[in-house]
Structure 1
Amino acid sequence: MRRRSVLTGVLGGTFLVATGTGLSACATIDTVGQVDFARPLLIPPLAESQIDDAGRRVFNLHARRGHRDFGIEGTTSTLGFNGDYLGPTLRARRGEQVMVNVVNNLKQETSVHWHGMHLPARCDGGPHQPVRPGATWSPAWTINQPAATLWYHPHPHGRTREHVNQGLAGLFILDDDTPAQRVLPHDYGVDDIPLIVQDKSLHKGEIRDHNTGDRLLVNGTYGPYLDVRTDRVRLRLLNASVSRTYAFGLADERPVQLIATDGGLLPAPVTVTRIRLSPGERAELVVPFRAGERIVLRSFPPAAGGRNFDGGKDQFDVLEFRAAARLRHVGTVPDAFGDFDRLDPATATVNRDFKLNGTNINDDQMDLDRIDAVVEKGTTEIWTVRNTDGQRHNFHVHDVQFQVLSVDGERPPAALGGWKDTVFLPPKGEVRIILRFADYADPDMPYMYHCHLLMHEDDGMMGQFVVVEPGQQAGRVGGTGGHDHGQQAG
């Protein structure tokens, strides 16, 4: 575990705190009105794929080192998939079989976790599936969940923050043929826009290993603008930051429609002026535009308590939208999105409690050789997750999408009424979630649950569970030997 939290001094009125990997500023950051939106927003390319002889859609991801001039401090050393920074957008349809050849061209082990994906544990890409330098890992599985905006990123034990912060991340978009998806904006890069938001601290050609940074990148673009040509645009927002929580909204606080969260469409659109996203969370918004206008996407101070050490009072101008003089009409958002599979608490057979404190869960730190929970396939469970300390946390569960039953004992807001895999927990906050474990069982290979503030995760705020067949016992934890080549069939 890293040593952290020692007050070391004052510089220009800003307190600095040593974290074992550098200094994090406690001063409030405010870039509103200060950003020169001078660069067109980069749109991550759609990944190329081929259909193999087994009928699987095959993607290739090469993790490698690179260099990028972000337009801030010259050329910066980076990591990326198939490029110098970030990675391409993988896209597949429900019912398709996919295989991803993950090639590690780095000089250190890494992995690739498919965040939000329902898939066998041996394909999950967590800390039990490291990929050695020069090796290839080829997990294969069937897409068996609704359309959603997912993402992929490394998950090496104790080093996730480093790899994600340096640029190893990308989107994985799932499609299906529901009527709602057909009428929503869906022209990728035109009226369906991915927005991977990250804060960075850059210094002398390096991305510094800080918990929070003072500059924002969107799809790897600093100070971006987007030319808008339609009267409505679908934004797929991903908070891919190490630690920072955002509260996104338009600068004039106009109403927008929240249509989807982590695991797909809500039961019906929810009108919001802001949406809060902690690290790992996603949201899909449909934003209306007027011809000829310029309007800024802003991150307002996230109203969630806590010290400004973790950015609670910071605000940023994120992206400028530049609407054309004439806008093409792309239709309206439906009043509802069809049937929604609401999980019934009466069917839950197990209740579990999780206490988050410091960098522990239930007073334990992560142990790769310890199984913390055993779940039977086909069952529904209720988990109560409590943040018992004075800092922000969130809670991410691998494999399943869950539903939020309550927030601090009250009915959750409509914005939390859909499928989630990550949920925010302010200081002293509590959520109750309901989860159904279907399809996949493996007594020897665990899934993870953890805080997705990556410095907490790396410092041990993580546990693991196995899903077993009814009546089966947990087996031997396996799979930590690493991958040299070959595939894992799903």
Structure 2
Amino acid sequence: MKKRWLIATIGIFTLMIIVGGSYLLFIRGTMPNNKQHMKSMMNGGNTTTNQTMMEGMGHGASVDLKSTEEKERRLNIPKMLKSDRETKNSIQYTIVAKQGETQFFQDSKKTETLGYNGNYLGPVVELKKGKMVTIRTVNRLSEATTFHWHGLVVPSSVDGGPHQVVKAGETKVVKFKVKQDESTLWFHPHPMGKTAEQVYKGLAGLLYVKDEKTKETM
């Protein structure tokens, strides 16, 4: 009995060694060597090496992973909002909260989103210290919203908090004078019980305050 058990044990270990050795030979024959792989990783991912890896894993056709990643990671820079009218001492804008659709990934279905002057997110609103600002806030949503100027030093009467609702289809005008130094801020809705939902659906834009020390880089 002991002899049969010993023979069976030896047979199992022999089989494991044969299978394991065959697998290692397969890996060494299809995967890039460690030095080549490390060099590829240090260079940000070599396309040729990536293709070799994909083919060795049985995917068949070569795939340009680098170009695919670049397309997926492309950053959309918000545009500057064009003013309705500007003089030496004043500037006027129109900001519209609206519903839209956005396709986030290639070949994916479109998602219902919200945006300012577009389908998703908002533009950059440029303000200059010392200027009087007039903004027409237009609500084209199916529900009430507000227009809150986050971080901007303005009177409470135009702050755009939950107490200053703009109903669906309504337009309100706010006026204020820019009194702070150069800064990057943002604007978003602030309605009671709906702030988070409207923001993560896309209602958010940038405020760029310039002063006499601002370098013209934009």
Please classify the TM superposition score into its range, dividing by the shorter chain length.
0.5 to 0.7
Larger helix percent: 2
Tell me whether 1:68 sits opposite 2:102 in the alignment: yes
Larger strand percent: 1
Task: Specify the SS of the correspondent of 2:70.
Answer: coil
Task: Specify the SS of the correspondent of 1:36.
Answer: helix
| 2: CA distance, partners of 1:151 / 1:136 | 20
Q: Please give the TM-score of this superposition, normalised by the length of structure 1.
A: 0.29
Please, which of 107, 131, 136 is the counterpart of residue 96 of structure 1?
131
| 1: CA distance, partners of 2:158 / 2:88 | 18
Residue of structure 2 in register with 1:438 after alignment: none
| 1: CA distance, partners of 2:96 / 2:217 | 26
Please, which of 178, 182, 187 is the counterpart of residue 217 of structure 2?
187
Q: In percent, how many aligned pairs have the same letter?
A: 37
Tell me whether 1:81 sits opposite 2:116 in the alignment: yes
Counterpart AA for 1:67:
E
Task: Specify the SS of the correspondent of 1:62.
Answer: strand
The alignment of Structure 1 onto Structure 2 pairs a total of residues equal to 151
What do residues 145-187 of structure 1 show as CA deviations (whole Å, max 9, x unaligned)?
Answer: 0000010000001110000010000000000112xx33xxx52
Q: Which runs of 5+ in 2 are unaligned?
A: 1-44, 46-64
Task: Specify the SS of the correspondent of 2:200.
Answer: helix
Residue of structure 1 in register with 2:38 after alignment: none
| 2: CA distance, partners of 1:149 / 1:54 | 22
Tell me whether 1:38 sits opposite 2:71 in the alignment: yes
| 2: CA distance, partners of 1:175 / 1:53 | 16
What do residues 347-397 of structure 1 show as CA deviations (whole Å, max 9, x unaligned)?
Answer: xxxxxxxxxxxxxxxxxxxxxxxxxxxxxxxxxxxxxxxxxxxxxxxxxxx
Please, which of 139, 142, 149 is the counterpart of residue 174 of structure 2?
139
Please, which of 109, 112, 129 is the counterpart of residue 147 of structure 2?
112
Query: Larger Rg: 1 or 2?
Result: 2
Counterpart AA for 1:71:
F
Q: 1:84 to 1:138 in 2, by over 3 A?
A: same
Structure 1 residue 74 displacement after superposition: 2.2
Task: Specify the SS of the correspondent of 1:146.
Answer: coil
Q: Following TM superposition, where does structure 1 have runs of at least 4 consecutive aligned residues deviating by more than 4 angstroms?
A: 52-55
Counterpart AA for 2:118:
G
| 2: CA distance, partners of 1:176 / 1:122 | 24
Q: 1:111 to 1:138 in 2, by over 3 A?
A: same
Task: Specify the SS of the correspondent of 2:69.
Answer: coil
Counterpart AA for 1:165:
Y
Residue of structure 1 in register with 2:37 after alignment: none
Q: Please give the TM-score of this superposition, normalised by the length of structure 2.
A: 0.64
Q: Which runs of 5+ in 1 are unaligned?
A: 1-32, 189-490
| 1: CA distance, partners of 2:87 / 2:151 | 28
Residue of structure 2 in register with 1:169 after alignment: 204
Please, which of 184, 189, 192 is the counterpart of residue 154 of structure 1?
189
